[in-house]
Amino acid sequence: MAENNQNAVAGSAPAKQNPVVTKGGVYKPPVERADANPYKDSRISSVGAWLQERFSVVIPVIDYLKKKEVPKHRLSFWYYFGGLGLFFFMVQIITGLLLMQYYKPTTAEAFTSFVFIQKEVSFGWLVRQIHAWSANLMVLMVFVHMFSSFFMKSYRKPRELMWLTGSVLFVLTLGFGFTGYLLPWNEIAFFATQVGTEVPKVAPGGAFIVNILRGGEEVTGETLTRMFSVHVVLLPGLLLLLLSAHLLLVQILGTSAPIGYKETGRIKGYEKFFPTFLAKDAIGWLIGFALILYLSVFFPGPIGNEANPLAPAPMGIKPEWYFWAQFLMLKDFTFPNGELMAIFIITLGAAFWFFIPFLDHRASREEKSPIFTIIGLLYLAGLVINTYRVFIEYGW
């Protein structure tokens, strides 16, 4: 059996020969075999050839990557932000795994283990600071990537699925920030999570959602267990799945150029994705890593005091900066049912954003769509202005 299988070499068809049956009716494989490694003379490495023989994808993938080209024009700079988001995500996975070796997700031990990592574990402080700073940078890069894809109308036909998978990735990225915030179990984390998980309460059926988020009516050890498991299992799993689809689509459909650039000769040429663009990506990643190290060493985040659920909430509790715009809107709407109205507007705005590829018909016909550019600018201005207002009122 094993001998027969040798004929079925991945990536190459077995030579056509009549099967040999001996007198006793016992099957014998043909003497002449198909070439076991049709790529042995090609320039791929011996490891590549070994894999190709068994998995038959190495050469097609390398050929494909070599064929992919990225257009060069005055806005090409913005193509690097998706890759930077990817880089910071990889940093999160590595540092997150290291932190998990010492972190204990119970109310009794969470804060102590967090302090232990900061003060006792060799380079624990650095790993924790890198994890915190890289999280912020990942969110920032994904924001920039989303808005630059929006303004270049990269969502237009046939890239609708890139936009949809990207939008879910955006929500998952924010989910990481939200669930990770509680884990140190310090005062700020505790009260900010209390405020954050209370938001759905005013909506119909909201009490049920609050219960799901908290694992009960209050923020307790149950909430910590939930946040931890979602942070380290559910979100990474979902993100990896969606990311694979997103990146596969990028490879299949290629990188888009802004509307009208080809027709008006504004494309200065094309560069190979592999290795040229990827090498430039890598330079961006090195700069990104240097930035995280700089921020971690010179601007370390505080440890704070252990959470005390019985203590009154300190003044000026606010969420992470990427939720400030929504947070302010909830606070601004002080009229009756204001919070419900704010939730409604935020949800409607998010749904509209999600379905943009199906609403902007002009872009899909390769025509300019200034109304959607204006809508994007309004979204961006709303976010930036509200975020800035929280900064002025509460500080960093």
Question: Measured between alpha carbons, how far is 356 from 363 in angstroms, rounded to an integer?
Answer: 10
Residue closer to ligand HEM by CB (options 89, 372) is 89
Q: How far is the CB of 248 from ligand HEM (least distance, A)?
A: 11
Closest CA to 383 of 320, 328, 317: 328
Stretch (H or E) spanning 26: none
One-letter amino acid identity for 252? Answer: I
Of 154 and 223, nearer to ligand HEM (C-beta) is 154
Contact letters (x/-) for ligand HEM, 177-216, by CB under 6 A? ----------------------------------------
State which residue, 85 or 177, has the beta carbon closest to ligand HEM.
Answer: 85
Quick count: other Cβ atoms within 10 Å of Cβ 183?
21
Q: Among residues 272, 257, 285, which one has the least CA distance to residue 62?
A: 272
Site residues for ligand HEM, window 253-272 (CB under 6 A)? Answer: 255-256
Q: Identify whether the C-beta of residue 113 lies closer than 8 Å to the C-beta of residue 311.
A: no
Say how far residue 127 (Cα) sits from the centre of its chain. 20
Binding to ligand HEM by residue 167, rule CB under 6 A? yes
CA 205 to chain centre: 30
Closest distance to ligand HEM from the beta carbon of 268 (Å): 16
Q: Which of 126, 183, 188, 250 binds ligand HEM (CB under 6 A)?
A: 250
Inter-residue contact 277 to 66 (CB < 8 Å):
no
Is residue 141 a contact partner of residue 88, using CB atoms and an 8 Å limit? yes
Q: Phi first, then psi: give them for residue 100, nearest 5 degrees.
A: -65, -20
Residue with tokens 């050839």: 49
Q: Per rule CB under 6 A, is residue 85 in the interface with ligand HEM? A: yes
Residue nearest ligand HEM by beta-carbon distance: 166
Q: Is 88 or 327 the residue whose CB approaches ligand HEM more closely?
A: 88
**Closest-CA residue to 170 (of 234, 279, 245, 243):** 243
Residue 166 near ligand HEM by CB under 6 A: yes
The residue among 86 and 199 lying less far from ligand HEM, judged by its C-beta, is 86
Restricting to residues 141-160, name those near ligand HEM by CB under 6 A.
Answer: 142, 145-146, 149, 154-155, 159
Binding status of residue 95 toward ligand HEM by CB under 6 A: no
> Where do contacts with ligand HEM occur on this chain (CB under 6 A)?
79, 81-83, 85-86, 89, 142, 145-146, 149, 154-155, 159, 162-163, 166-167, 169-170, 173, 243, 246, 250, 255-256
